[in-house]
Structure 1
Amino acid sequence: MIKIIPLLLTLTLFGCSSVKNTETASSDDGKICKMEKTTGSNIATRICRTVEQIAYQKKIAKEALKEMTRGSIKSRK
């Protein structure tokens, strides 16, 4: 289980970095909808998320980046 969490965080980070946003719309139920193209596809799909979901995904991506870069910078002696 412990090894799965970093893998999921890494996939989330790479998934977020490869998405191109082409349109933003706000719906009545408080969700923000965007047309997003995934890596390797020219077909955009409409993705709707709440503000809380967007903030949570950003938090997870930042934590994954921090985890991946931790220990990669070593001091030279």
Structure 2
Amino acid sequence: MPYQTDDDDVLGLCNIYAQQTHHFEAFILGNRKGLLELRNAIDKALETGCSTSTLFPSDYEGYDVYVALVDEEQRFEKLTTP
């Protein structure tokens, strides 16, 4: 799939690389549109509690990102570590 130059046609490209193990780094890499879409999803989750965004990794197969606000430390501690 060729990269589009018209802003309306550019895909929100974003690769999210999780930690491989504890204390390792994580990476979020994307083009401007992809990072803005991820930021918008985060902003919406901060306002409403949750949101989703459809992004595209480097293989152009879309995936959904789910963002949720967990504002209670005790609830956050109970989450399974990825």
**TM-score bracket relative to the smaller structure:** 0.3 to 0.5
Structure that is richer in helix per residue = 1
**Greater RCO (CA < 8 Å, at least 6 residues apart):** 1
TM-score normalised by L of structure 1: 0.34
TM-score normalised by L of structure 2: 0.33
Between structure 1 and structure 2, the one with the greater Rg is 1
